[in-house]
Structure formats: structure tokens, C-alpha cells
Structure 1
């Protein structure tokens, strides 16, 4: 396995291997002189249907005789590539997981902010569904010290 994604050519555009560069969109690597030279050498453009892209973990599927070029992708570009290769249901679930991560990553700050403006800890527990211990830990030093956090049971 390599750390680079690969651009490669397929002889038949109906081949299901890889993602079309046009589907992934806005790839910074397409501006690299080496990539432009590779495309020119093969008489294709990035929009050509036979130009495909695979993420690092799948490059072993590229046929040995295929013309290929390693290309660096940003994390965001790699995520778009992986989504382009997934069935729709998996993409939706991954999007939900990313939204959860983004929300959960701000959890402690949100809990502390709620306590700082006066939301009682027991109400934070009710509204968020978070464990009372989690709320107590995140809100320590916020709100009124006389507000106990009830234990759920």
C-alpha cells in the first residue's frame, strides 16, 4: 500500500474501477506540472472518461499494465474520493458520523457555555441526554455551585 492516491487510465470507460476525476472535482494535484505532463503524454484530459482515481488503500486493484501516476490528495479531497466510490447509503451514514464528530468535538465547550449562562446542570442533562458525570466534568467552575447534577438512574 502507498500513501498516495493514483491516477490511472482504463481502456474501457465502462470499467467500474475507480472514480472519474470529474466526479471527485476540484483536485489540487491537477495543477501540478507532473500531472499535467502525464495527462498530455497520454493524450487525455482530467475530464476524459478513461482517467480514474483510487485512494491509497485500493491502489492494489489497478491492473499491472495500466498507465498510472501517484498523486497527493488533501484529507478533504481523499474524503470526497472515498465518498465517490461508496454506495449512497454508506455515504449518508458517513456524513452523519462526521456531523456527530463535529458536534461531539464541541460538546464540552457547549456544556460549559450553557452552565455559564445559567442553565442548571440537571436541565443540561435532560436536554442533551449526556451522563450527569460528563456534564459535571464539563461544567466544573461554571454556573452556580449550589446546583447539583442529579444522577440518572
Structure 2
């Protein structure tokens, strides 16, 4: 397996690998001279149906004769790509995990605000599903 994502031209059975780049949204590398030159050399546009973007974990499945170009992806771009290439049930779970992360980021601050406002620790634990000992530790 490689650490690089790849743009590839795929037809036939390999055409199900990856996703069209447009499915991932804005991608910084698409406007680079190297990518534009590669697309021109292949005679395709960024919206060509045979153009696919593959995450690093799928590149081993690329047919040997497929035209390909390694491309740099930022963390957010790679996350969006992996979300788009995940099976639908996994993609839904990933959305839930992201929502949980967003909620959990301010967890201790929210618990501390509730304690400071006078909400009893047992009630905070009841409302949040947090362990009472964890709430009491924040209430400290």
C-alpha cells in the first residue's frame, strides 16, 4: 500500500474504484500545473467519466496498465475522499462519529458550565449519559 492518493483513468472492471474527483468537492491539487498537464496529456478533463480519485488504501487494486498520477491531499480532503469511497452504511456511521466528535470536543466545558450553574451532578449524569464519577470529577 502507498501513502499517496492517485488520480487514475479507469475503464472496465476497474472503473468502480475510487470516485470522480468532483464527488469529493474542492481539491487544491486539481489547479496545479502538474495535474493540468497530466490531464491534457491524457486528453481528459476534470469531469471525464473515466477519471477517478483513489485513497491510498485502494491504490494496490489499480490495474497495472492504468494511467495514474500520485496527488497530495490535505487531511480534510483525504477524510472527504474516504467518506465518499466508504460503503453507504459505513459512511452513515462515519457521519455519526463526526457528530459525536463535534459534541465531545466541548464535553468538559459543558459539564463544568452545568455544575457552575447549579445542576446537580446526578442530574448531569442522567441527562448526558456520562458516568456519575466523571461528572463529579469535573465538579471537583
**TM-score under structure 2 normalisation?**
0.91
Indicate conservation of the 8 Å contact 1:6/1:69, yes or no.
yes
Task: Work out the number of aligned pairs and report it.
Answer: 140
Cα RMSD between the aligned structures?
Answer: 1.7
Structure with the higher helix share, 1 or 2: 2
Larger radius of gyration: 1
Indicate conservation of the 8 Å contact 2:8/2:52, yes or no.
yes
* C-alpha distance in 1 between matches for 2:3 and 2:32: 18
Q: Secondary structure at the match of 1:69?
A: strand
1:2-41 alignment runs, 5 A limit: 2-12=2-12, 15-41=15-41
Higher relative contact order (CA 8 A, sep 6+): 2
Q: Could you tell me which residue of structure 2 aligns to residue 149 of structure 1?
A: none
1:137-152 alignment runs, 5 A limit: 137-140=137-140
Instruction: After TM superposition, give the deviation of residue 105 of structure 1 in Å.
Output: 2.4
The unaligned stretches of length 5 or more in structure 2 are none
The unaligned stretches of length 5 or more in structure 1 are 141-153
Q: Could you tell me which residue of structure 1 aligns to residue 109 of structure 2?
A: 109
Instruction: After TM superposition, give the deviation of residue 126 of structure 1 in Å.
Output: 1.6
**TM-score under structure 1 normalisation?**
0.84
Q: Secondary structure at the match of 1:15?
A: helix
Runs of 4+ in 1 over 2 A off after TM superposition: 11-15
* C-alpha distance in 1 between matches for 2:125 and 2:84: 39
Instruction: After TM superposition, give the deviation of residue 87 of structure 1 in Å.
Output: 2.4
Does residue 60 (structure 1) correspond to residue 63 (structure 2)? The answer is: no
Instruction: After TM superposition, give the deviation of residue 112 of structure 1 in Å.
Output: 0.7
